[in-house]
A = this chain, B = another copy of it.
């Protein structure tokens, strides 16, 4: 698959997700709702419609396509997952957490609105994600929706992403060993990415073996994503990256690239790309987009 075809398709997924999120977060009241508070929804839109890469949604959509799952259902689950990702960014940016004023060049939600609005916008996006999955507008069987709800709650909750953020904050005051870094990262960033790939298998009614294969594929993508992120923080210049670099070192946070070195990291990333290709080889050309996504995640320059 050529890079231009790949990038066009990635871009098209991002546009589709952005469009659906804009509709879901509009101010028009829906069934089952008492009212849609104007300022709260504005804060939710500020945090969710921010032109992100929409990597997780792309993984849901392409994984579902691999198993012939409903594209409409995949897009809705992708939007739900992105709501959770965006809530986590809003809360992570808060003064009591990472205290960031900017995200993608825009004021963070607590800067553009206020802290209370940012807390509530995050809470609301998190809760709304489960409504989107369970909604009658998501064309899936109840069993599939419950599988997705359970896997999403586990990926996002205290045994997954939220727990990973708690461990990451603790890491600012204590030095983590290699094993602790791996656990923390597999929770903080790995869990949602793994869910994205598993979700496609659920949407496509794949069997247990294929679902486990997609979980493993998601783990590989999650590892590669984090290694690449940490490597860029270590070696890229901030102009290329579009954000401050050296942040991890400045916060005293150990990462695998800082512990093991640049050469080890680049070698490990190449291994992960190869493992991803090998895992999906049974699907032949149908998995081309997912394999390209793995290599994109592991080699991106920002």
Where the two chains meet, the residues of A that have a C-beta atom closer than 8 Å to any C-beta of B are 29-30, 32-37, 39-41, 44, 87, 91, 94, 96-97, 114-117, 119-120, 122-124, 126-128, 130-131, 133-136, 141-143, 145-146, 149-154, 156-160, 162-167, 169-170, 183, 186-187, 190-191
Contacts and interface: CB of A to CB of B under 8 A. Distances in A.
A192 B280 CA distance: 45
Contact of A131 (B41, B153, B166): B153
Given A128-B158, A153-B127, A170 B39 contact: yes
Given A32-B154, A142-B142, 9 more contacts: A32-B150, A34-B186, A116-B169, A120-B158, A124-B162, A128-B153, A131-B157, A133-B149, A134-B149
Looking at A141, A159, A165, the one whose CB has the most chain B CB atoms below 10 A away is A159
A97 B167 CA distance: 25
Contact of A134 (B87, B124, B153): B153
Contacts of A186: 34
B169 A154 contact: no
